[in-house]
C-alpha cells in the first residue's frame, strides 16, 4: 500500500511550511505564531490558500503575516555525461 504523501510527491507536490503570524483577539497588540505544514503545489499553493481563507472566515485572530517555505522532496535525478574512460586498477 502506497501512502498518500508518497503519491502526492510523485504528482509534483512538495512539502510546504507556512509560518502564520496573527493578532490575538483578546490582546490585539500581541502577535501569536502558528506553523502549518502540508503537501502543496508551488507557486499557486491551493491548499495553503484554502486554509488561509478558512482562517479569515471562521477564526477571530486577524492575520498579520505569512511566510512560506516549499521544497519538492522527490525530483528527477541530476546527472551529467562524462566524456572519457576512467581506469580502476
pLDDT in tens, 25-53: 999 899 999 999 999 999 999 999 999 99
pLDDT tens-digit profile of 48-75?
A: 999 999 999 999 999 999 999 998 877 6
**Whole-angstrom distance, CA of residue 37 vs CA of residue 71:** 12
- At 6-22, the pLDDT tens digits run 899 888 899 999 999 99
Looking at residue 10, its pLDDT comes to 87
Domain map (residue ranges) of the chain: 4-71
Amino acid at each position: 500500500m502506497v501512502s498518500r504523501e508518497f503519491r502526492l510527491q510523485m504528482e509534483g507536490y512538495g512539502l510546504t511550511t507556512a509560518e502564520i503570524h496573527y493578532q490575538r483577539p483578546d490582546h490585539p497588540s500581541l502577535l501569536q505564531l502558528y506553523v502549518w505544514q502540508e503537501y502543496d503545489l508551488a507557486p499557486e499553493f491551493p491548499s495553503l490558500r484554502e486554509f488561509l481563507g478558512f482562517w479569515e472566515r471562521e477564526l477571530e485572530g486577524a492575520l498579520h503575516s505569512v511566510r512560506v517555505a516549499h521544497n519538492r522532496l522527490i525530483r528527477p535525478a541530476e546527472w551529467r555525461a562524462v566524456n572519457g574512460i576512467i581506469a580502476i586498477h
